A and B are shown apart, each in its own frame.
Chain A
């Protein structure tokens, strides 16, 4: 169960869009449509932002969107706001109800 690969950091100005990539293998990201994304502010619990690749839980702004192509999933945050500054983790189902996370990406709003 090797971790998924995410960029260490991304940044953007308020109002801009940023995309965070998440690369795995055919045994996880590429093999299932069960990629989820979590937002974590310092000292806080993770919060589900996207599940099943592209679905948003109720209450999550539609500025957050997810997609997948092959072994790479992506999270796009549009119309960046100051409160979007946080760590973001991707996670993929890896078979037999096991999960694998990415290493995390720090989003900085300039």
Chain B
């Protein structure tokens, strides 16, 4: 069974930074595109970013472009999201999601999801 475990969330001041991680297991991580999706407290889902299976292509929502960076280390089966210049509106649970197609340049949907890590931006 696919396992995705996010970590790295926490309380950070406005303007601060964090690096979120998503450790993957029970599937060939290097074969799948991956994505980050967030959910503000009591709100709906918002796509944040995706990365190709190789890491060579990355995609971002306009709301985070220039502030967030997605990356992956296929040797460590780990996905990352570097979040900088954080704002109050970035407060959310951040989920990682596995793409549904082998060797995808990107994802069309999230086939499997982790439990999420909470990022709280507050002074």
Question: Interface of A with B (CB < 8 Å)?
Answer: 1, 3, 34, 36, 38, 40, 44-48, 51-52, 57, 89, 91, 93, 96-104
Minimum Cβ distance to chain B for residue A11 (Å): 19
Given A46-B45, A46-B97, A91-B109, 15 more pairs with CB closer than 8 A: A34-B108, A45-B113, A46-B113, A48-B112, A51-B100, A51-B109, A51-B111, A91-B45, A97-B106, A97-B108, A98-B61, A99-B35, A100-B47, A101-B46, A104-B45
Minimum Cβ distance to chain A for residue B4 (Å): 9
Query: How many pairs of residues, A versus B, come closer than 8 Å at their CB atoms?
Result: 75
Question: Interface of B with A (CB < 8 Å)?
Answer: 33, 35, 37, 44-47, 50, 57, 59, 61-62, 95, 97, 100, 105-116
User: Is B47 in contact with A99, judged by CB distance below 8 angstroms?
Assistant: yes
The closest CB in chain A to the CB of B111 belongs to A48
Using A3-B44, A46-B45 as known contacts, say yes or no to A98 and B109 having CB atoms under 8 A apart.
no
Using A45-B114, A45-B115, A51-B100 as known contacts, say yes or no to A97 and B45 having CB atoms under 8 A apart.
no
The closest CB in chain A to the CB of B116 belongs to A45
Q: Which residues of A contact B37 (CB under 8 A)?
A: 46, 99, 101
